[in-house]
Amino acid sequence: MISRVLVLAGAAATVLSVLLTWVTVTGLRVTLDLDLIGADVGAGNRTVAGTDIALWPGIVAAGALAAVLALLGVGRRAIVVIGLLTTIAGGLLLAYMANVIELETRDGAQVERAAARGLLDSTVGPGTPVLLAGGILILLGGVAARRRRS
C-alpha cells in the first residue's frame, strides 16, 4: 500500500512540475536560446515554466503512466524504470537550470560571456526540484513494491 502511495505522489509531483516555474532570467534585454529544453528567454525579465518547453508532453505522459500502472498494480519494473529516468532527467534539468546563463553563453566570445554573467541573473523555480522529487518518489515506490512481492 505504501508503495502505491509513493508512486501516486511521485506521479502527481511529476505532472505538477510542468505547471510550475522552472527558471527566471532577469537582466537587460538579452535573448537566450535554451536549446536543451526547447525554449527561448526573451528580452527583459522572463520566466520559463514547464509548459514553455518542448519536453512537457513526455513529462506528463511519464507521470500519468506511472499513476495508471500503480493504480492497476502492474508493471513494477516499468515503474522503477520510469522513476529512474525521471530522477535522472530531473537532476540533469536542475543542474542545467542552476547554470543556464553560463551554459548558454559558453560558445560566445569572452566579452559576451563576461557581459552576460554581469548583466543577467537566473533563479531556479520550484518546477525542476519538484520533478526530481517526483522521480525519486516513483522510484522508491517501485522498489518498495518489488521488495514486498519478493
pLDDT tens per residue across span 36-67? 565 656 555 577 788 888 888 999 999 999 99
Confidence (pLDDT) at 13:
97
Checking if the pLDDT of 32 tops 50, the result is yes
Q: What is the pLDDT of residue 51?
A: 82
**Has residue 29 been placed in a domain?**
yes
DSSP symbol at 147: H
The tens digit of pLDDT for each residue in 64-80 reads 999 999 999 888 999 99
Q: Looking at the domain assignment, is residue 150 inside a domain?
A: no
Task: Provide the domain limits for residue 94.
Answer: 2-142
What's the structural domain count of the chain? 1
Asked whether residue 148 is domain-assigned, the answer is no
Residue 44: inside a domain, yes or no? yes
For residue 117, the model assigns a pLDDT of 65
C-alpha to C-alpha distance for 90 and 72, rounded to whole angstroms: 25
The torsion angles phi and psi of 88, rounded to 5 degrees, stand at -65, -45
Q: Does the residue 149 lie in any domain? A: no
Amino acid at 77: R
In a domain, residue 39? The reply is: yes
Q: Tell me, what's the pLDDT at 75? A: 87
Q: Is residue 54 part of a domain?
A: yes
Per-residue pLDDT band at 150 (split at 50, 70, 90): very low
pLDDT of residue 128: 92
Residue 16 predicted with pLDDT over 80:
yes
Does residue 129 fall inside a structural domain?
Answer: yes
For 69-125, the DSSP string reads: HHHHT--HHHHHHHHHHHHHHHHHHHHHHHTHHHHHTTTS-HHHHHHHHHHEEEEE-
